[in-house]
Amino acid sequence: MNIVFTIIYLLAALIVVTGFYIQSNKYLRSMVMTQAFQSLLIAIIAIFLGFELKQYTFFILAVLVILLRSVLVTYFLAAKIPKNKNYLYESRLPTTYYLLVDLAFIVISIFIVYSISFIHIVSRIFPASNIILFPLLLFFQGLFIIASRRRTIAQILGYIEEENSLILMGTFILPVPIIIESSVFLDVLILVVIFSIISIEKTEHKPVEELRG
């Protein structure tokens, strides 16, 4: 494996670490900024791949990720954080709990990759590798944030993480046409705008009697 691919491996692992950091974090602003950093890491991976494989679409992807995820989405989310109340109260569980959950995700991802079938979906970019493990892990982390948090902003961060995992997966397996990738980015951006409209009046989500059954 050459040095560029080794760096990409390390960056992919670092992305998963940022996912864990978002998961276990209580502070909203810190969570939002980590999301921006996570997106930036994806952009850096795309740039490395662009140079290594000499494909300009990776550069377009990198620009889109930086512009839409790291800047615009972060701006919209950060603007929604109350000035005097920049932390989450509902997340009181100890960090070890999240560590355990993440370990479970690692086991599930390894199981999917090796036992079920993904091992046969050979990465076109990293043949004979298990790099697909990282986006899978990130996907589960995103889903877990959506399921475990009550705050609107935390749930949207989970959703963005899920979308980041798909970009990473697409990049590692075989990048889909850039026009479709761009539409995915715009979808997320519009969803964040919708979120900002809803979150004006609804910042927390609990079970509602009228919506049971």
Partner 1 sequence: MIYEILILIIPLIAMAFYKNIKITSIIGAIIELFLLIPLYFDLSNSGFFFIDHITYIFILMVSSIYLMSLLYSRKYIHNIGNKGISENVYYMLMGFFYVAMEFALMVNNYGFMWVGIETTTISSALLLITEKSDISLEATWRYIIIVSAGVTFAFISVILIYYAFGTLTVTVILSEGIRDSLAVRLAVGIALVGFGTKVGVFPVHTWLPDAHSEAPAPVSAMFSGVLLPVALYVLYRIYEIYPMREIFIWAGTISVLFAAIFLGYQRNYKRMFAYSTMENMNIALIGLSTFTFAGLVGSLLLLLSHSFGKAGAFYSSGNVYEMSGTKSIDGVGGLIRNKASAASMLLSSFAVTGTPPFGTFFGEFLILYSVLSIHFYAQFGIIVLSLFLAFVSINFNVSKMLFRGKSEYSQSGINTIIPLIAAIISIFIGIVFLVVYHEIL
Which residues of the chain form contacts with partner 1 (CB under 8 A)?
Answer: 117-118, 120-121, 124, 143, 146, 152, 155-156, 158-159, 162-163, 166, 169-170, 173-174, 176-177, 180, 183-184, 187, 190-191, 194-195, 197-198, 201-202, 205, 208, 210-211, 213
> Based on CB atoms, which residue is closest to partner 1, 3 or 179?
179
Comparing CA positions, the residue from 80, 64, 84 lying closest to residue 32 is 80
d(CA 159, CA 118): 23
Largest CA distance in the chain: 58
Closer to partner 1 by Cβ: residue 7 or 159: 159
Minimal distance, residue 92 CB to partner 1, in Å = 22
User: Judged by CB, which is closer to partner 1: 10, or 193?
Assistant: 193
Shortest distance in whole angstroms from residue 39 CB to partner 1 = 16
Do the beta carbons of residue 138 and residue 109 sit within 8 Å?
no
- Closer to partner 1 by Cβ: residue 94 or 210: 210
Give the shortest CB-22-to-partner 1 separation in angstroms: 16
Cβ 113 vs Cβ 169: under 8 Å:
no
Q: How far is the CB of 47 from partner 1 (least distance, A)?
A: 21
Angle formed at CA 150 by CA 42 and CA 195, multiple of 5 degrees: 60
Residue 51 identity: F
Residues comprising the chain, all counted: 213
Least distance to partner 1, CB of residue 94, Å: 26
Read off the DSSP letter of residue 204. B
* Paired tokens of 131: 């790099």
Cβ-based nearer residue to partner 1, 32 or 188: 188
